[in-house]
Structure 1
Amino acid sequence: MASSSSSSSSVALSFLYQNPIKASLSIPKTFSPYSKLTFPSIASFYSAIPRLDYSNFKKINPCLHCSNLPTASTNNTQYEFSDGSSEVELRLELGQGDVTPKDIYVDANESSLAIRVQQSGIVRTLMETSTLYEKIKPAETIWYIDEDQLVISLKKQNYELKWPDIVESWESLSAGNTQLLRGTSIYLVGESTEINQRIARELAVGLGYTPLCTKELLEAYAKQSMESWVNEEGSDAVAEAERAILESLSSQARAVIATLGGKKGAAGRVNQWRHLFAGFTVWLSLSQATDEESAKEEAKRNMQDSGRGYSNAEVVVKLGGWDPNYSKAVAQAVLSALKRLILADKDLPGKKSLYVRLGCRGDWPDIKPPGWDPSTSIDASSPRS
């Protein structure tokens, strides 16, 4: 049994991901209110999705038109959820009183669902979400009344994907990504060491992974603070030391690794990514953009900047500000992006594993046959080496 609740305010968060061949796509998501967070989105992506025409559907399953009726929201609707091979089933309690099919309104889109019922002259919202766990085939939605329950069957677009819950939430994303990642580690890169650390801890808790921080490992090794190390030997020496740490961690499975931010970090340098490609890389990037559209354009420009090491990241999450109290919201955006990245290419976790087994030779994403020597290849001078 699970519950669904509606929030009085929310903010649109989105992110940009790129697969290993640099094809990119933006997916808008919505989370709990945090006005300081803004992420890029592509409006044309959603405008291209046709809404379901219910003109014929209503003849079989009448829908309630309630523009002139008082409405009420149900903030804690109880529901039962089950996942079959090709569809998911949702059961909601209708409550006391007689309800007929003409009193029910079900509006299903590819990634959203709204369910309302009229009782005693009042229209109640049983459930409304714009973040289903994955896409459905809205035209094949079936619903019926079973005693005091409304039963809704939703046909999945991806039959192979197991849904942990009906909605995309922190809990469902944590459970779902644990299966999708197949033990592949996650590397968090970006300008802020603090942000990388905090989000790494959130992700590690949700996924059941080990949280690791290169800053802590380096300070334990050097027996001095990062600031004093940089002052004594310079940022180049620290970056090289972090590269060695990343090499030793490249064979580590089920870990979330927070890297150093800024100029002293290895991830900001185009020639230090050889071992970062062992896992899924996420760039947590602070943005000066004032709206989602400009943040989207900023993220695209960042990805295309081959002079920045961070542009090699497979996921970019843009933050219009930072408050550690909202670390879980950012971590949820990361999980949502990773889910879509892997679903776009289900072979990615296996390919990452192969890359590690062959020694992280710098040939990502075009993995060369065993025996390939990067030192004798023209690719050895590549920024990805």
Structure 2
Amino acid sequence: MAATAAAALRFVPPNPTPKKTVHSFSKPNLVSSSRFSLPLPPCKCSFTAPLSTTTYQFSDAASEMELRLHIGGMGIISTKDISVNADDTSLDITLLRSGSPITLIQTNPLFDRIKPSETIWYIDDDQLVVSFKKHDPDLKWPDIMESWESLAAGSSQLLKGTSIYLVGHSTEINQKVAQELATGLGYTPLSTQELLESYSNQTVDSWLLAEGSDSVAEGEGAVLESISCHVRTVVATLGGRQGAAGRSDKWRHLYAGFTVWLSQTEASDEDSAKEEAHRNVKDGITAYTNSDVVVKLQGWDPAYAKSVAQGCLRALKQLILSDKKLPGKKGLYIRLGCRGDWPNIKPPGWDPSSEGGKTLGT
């Protein structure tokens, strides 16, 4: 089942701001424990006086990248006045002055990984030039740091048009975050609630009272089937028992895109959220564990939907970079008819309704 595929998990604390620590780590893989990832460094990016975010230039030329930082008027005489520290995922540039050092730029994490041993820097007139080599030469960096803007810009090359489906117990959360994701990615936002209500000329609540949750789930399943071939969409699904995503037998067409489980939690820190994720997947008591990506939310405020959306993009980036064939595999799954055989796609002609799922003609 899809829950055994390597996936990413994000833990978002209540009312996150750009200065809050946001933790990221991988979702447990019950098949191959060697593929578990340790927690990544906290996500925080800061630019401290006297510089502003407009005082640097960044360029990406295939395997090599260059950062140019304006240092004119700072009294820098030689390279001894500057400290540049870089590791796989972070960069710290400090002006060494008597008294207290001044941080010129500090970004953690970088947009992706670099080769710190091959980082060089020098002073060119009134600019500090830092040259990097990246681990993945095929990945285009929109900016030096990982932010909402760089993730939104960089996700297009990774997703390759693959749609995103948001699942979870709250329809409202799914819809709010879907809107932010669609805006950032330039995708089309879709709400299965709105599509159902437009088709049936009644509210989902009225439908639920009149015909029950099974009928609503069947209706949403039909909607998901009708949009499963769409590309570049972010789909907000129904939350709760009436939602198709809450039922394992309704996932055939959800597998057509990358599924993100927006899961509310009472965990107070990263470790607790990680333990909870392990239990969720091990127990398998909810169909949401079929999701490709899990984002754990500690509390909810619509004003911070963009922060949650950023967590979704970072987790999706980690997932796809771990297996760049995933978007193409999603496309193949759609072309073969969304037969429910994700992630182990069967040969053409396989009939899921036949006994044992035999291939037709054999």
TM-score range, shorter chain: 0.7 to 0.9
The alpha-carbon deviation at position 291 of structure 1 amounts to 2.3
Alpha-carbon deviation of 1:121?
5.8
Distance in 1 (alpha carbons) for counterparts of 2:198 and 2:256: 24
Partner letter of residue 43 of structure 2?
A: T
Q: Please state if 1:376 is matched with 2:343.
A: no
Q: Which residue, out of 174, 194, 199, partners 1:216? A: 194
Root-mean-square deviation (CA, aligned residues, Å) is: 2.2
Note the 1:305-384 alignment, pairs <5 A: 305-378=283-356
Provide the rounded CA distance (Å) in 2 between the counterparts of 1:236 and 1:134: 44
Question: Letter of the aligned partner of 1:270 in structure 2?
Answer: S
- Higher relative CO (Cα under 8 Å, sequence separation at least 6) belongs to 2
Instruction: Give the one of 11, 14, 18 matched to 2:24.
Output: 14
SS at match of 2:145: coil
CA distance in 2, matches of 1:294, 1:122: 37
| Distance change in 2, residues 1:197/1:101 (3 Å) | same
CA contact (8 A) 1:15 1:315 kept: no
**Residues 264-275 of structure 1 correspond to what in structure 2 (within 5 A)?**
264-275=242-253
Following TM superposition, by how much is the alpha carbon of 1:75 offset from its aligned partner in structure 2, in angstroms?
5.5
Alpha carbons of structure 1 residues 286 and 16: separation in structure 2 relative to 1, 3 Å: farther
CA contact (8 A) 1:212 1:258 kept: yes
| 1:30 pairs with one of 40, 43, 47 | 43
Q: 1:154 to 1:101 in 2, by over 3 A?
A: same
Q: CA offset at residue 122 of structure 1?
A: 5.4
The residue number in structure 1 matching 2:277 is 299
Q: Tell me the alpha carbon deviations over residues 195-233 of structure 1, each in whole angstroms, 9 at most, x when there is no partner.
A: 000000000000000000000111111111111111110
**Residue 235 (str. 1) matches residue 213 (str. 2):** yes
CA pair 360-196 structure 1, distance change in 2 beyond 3 A: same
- 2:168, 2:261 within 8 Å by CA — same for their partners in 1? yes
Matches within 5 A, 1:141-220: 141-220=119-198
Give yes or no for contact 1:31–1:329 (8 Å, CA) kept in 2. no
Point out where structure 1 has 5 or more consecutive residues left out of the alignment: 1-6, 33-71, 381-385
Shift of 1:29: 4.6
CA deviation vs aligned residue, 1:301-343 (integer Å, no higher than 9, x gap): 1122333110000100000100011111100010001111111
The answer to which of 191-200 and 93-102 deviates more is 93-102
Partner residue in 2 for 1:134: 112
1:28 CA drift (Å): 5.2
Preserved CA contact (<8 Å) 2:167 2:260: yes
Alignment of 1:83-162 (within 5 A): 83-96=60-73, 97-119=75-97, 123-162=101-140
Separation in structure 1 between the aligned mates of residue 160 and residue 77 of structure 2, nearest angstrom: 45
Aligned partners of 1:170 and 1:241: how far apart in 2? 35
Q: Percentage identity across aligned positions?
A: 59
Aligned-partner Cα distance in 1 for 2:44–2:106? 14
Question: Do the aligned residues in 1 keep the contact of 2:27 with 2:274 (CA within 8 Å)?
Answer: no
1:347 Cα deviation after fit:
0.4
Hey, what's the Cα distance between the residues in 2 that align with 1:116 and 1:297? 37
Query: Structure 1 residues 134, 377: closer, same or farther in 2, change over 3 A?
Result: farther
1:76 counterpart = 2:52: yes
Amino acid at match of 1:109: D
Report the TM-score when normalising by structure 1.
0.82
1:248–1:329 CA distance, 2 compared to 1 (3 A): same
Amino acid at match of 2:92: A
- Partner Cα separation in structure 2 for residue 298 and residue 112 of structure 1: 28
In 2: Cα distance, 1:187 partner to 1:156 partner = 31
Paired positions, count? 336
Q: Distance in 2 between matches of 1:164 and 1:207?
A: 13
The equivalent residue for 2:6 is: none
Which residue identity does 1:84 align to in structure 2?
A
What is the letter of the counterpart of residue 12 of structure 1? V
The aligned runs of 1:276-287 (5 Å cut-off) are: 276-287=254-265
304 and 322 in structure 1: CA distance in 2 versus 1, 3 angstrom threshold: same
CA separation of 1:15 and 1:374: change in aligned 2, threshold 3 A: same
* Contact in 2 for aligned 1:74/1:127 (Cα 8 Å): no
TM-score (normalised: structure 2): 0.88
Amino acid in structure 2 at the alignment position of 1:258 = A
